[in-house]
Amino acid sequence: MKLSQIKFTAFVASSIDGRIAKNSRSGTDWTSKEDWNFFQNSLSKFDAVVVGYNTYKVAENRIKKRNTIVFTSKVKESKNIGTITFFNPKYSNIPDFFKKMKYKKVAVLGGPRIYEFFLKNKMLHELFVTIEPYVFTSGVPMFLGDKFIKYNFILESVKKLNKKGTVLLKYKYAN
């Protein structure tokens, strides 16, 4: 299987001002039930999920049942514990790793360094962004880049999820 045959889709819940959490140890308990339902229904269609270590620690109990790849600097070689694979992209060949895993659809769940990693490596094919009607003014940004780079996406759909104004945006990466 070629890396290009794997579809990587990111899921992000965000405030209006682009914040995904209060801090690196907080979760998304502020999102709407409509977003949660969409998210859970969507994840059932994926072979695996990718998260960063902080996201893993916040959501550990909820993702134990899924094939989960945790990107972390805490290991040098891949380490499997049940359905969880701890993986350090710095010391591994990303294409070889994903080919070996034989996943066809992978959900990218964050945090910002993970989203950025998949963008930089041109491995992000789709992006679902739920915008919740809040402004946080500070917190964890959706992406954490170290320099300005513009990535082009095409808006495929917009769906209002509830009366409060929660909106689901679906984007496709525009090569």
pTM of the model: 0.92
Smallest CA-to-CA distance from 129 within 142, 114, 117, 148 is with 142
pLDDT tens digits along 16-39: 999 998 877 777 788 999 999 999
Look up the CATH number of the domain holding residue 47: 3.40.430.10
What pLDDT sits at residue 144? Answer: 83
In a domain, 9, yes or no: no
Calpha distance 110→28 (Å, rounded): 11
Smallest CA-to-CA distance from 112 within 5, 17, 7, 23 is with 23
What pLDDT sits at residue 64? Answer: 75
The region of weakest confidence among 87-91, 158-162, 165-169 is 87-91
Contact assessment for residue 85 and residue 102, using Cβ atoms and an 8 Å cutoff: no
Mean pLDDT, residues 65-71: 92
In a domain, 141, yes or no: yes
Mean of the per-residue pLDDT values of the chain: 90
Q: What sign does the dihedral 100-106-111-116 (CA atoms) show?
A: positive
Smallest CA-to-CA distance from 114 within 123, 105, 101 is with 123
DSSP 35: H
In a domain, 134, yes or no: yes
**Amino acid found at 21:** A
Q: How many domains does the chain have?
A: 1
In a domain, 17, yes or no: no
In a domain, 150, yes or no: yes
Domain residues for 106?
35-162
Calpha distance 22→87 (Å, rounded): 26
Distance of CA 114 to the CA centre of its chain: 7
In a domain, 4, yes or no: no
- Residue 81 above 70 pLDDT? yes
In a domain, 7, yes or no: no
Mean pLDDT, residues 65-94: 90
In a domain, 53, yes or no: yes
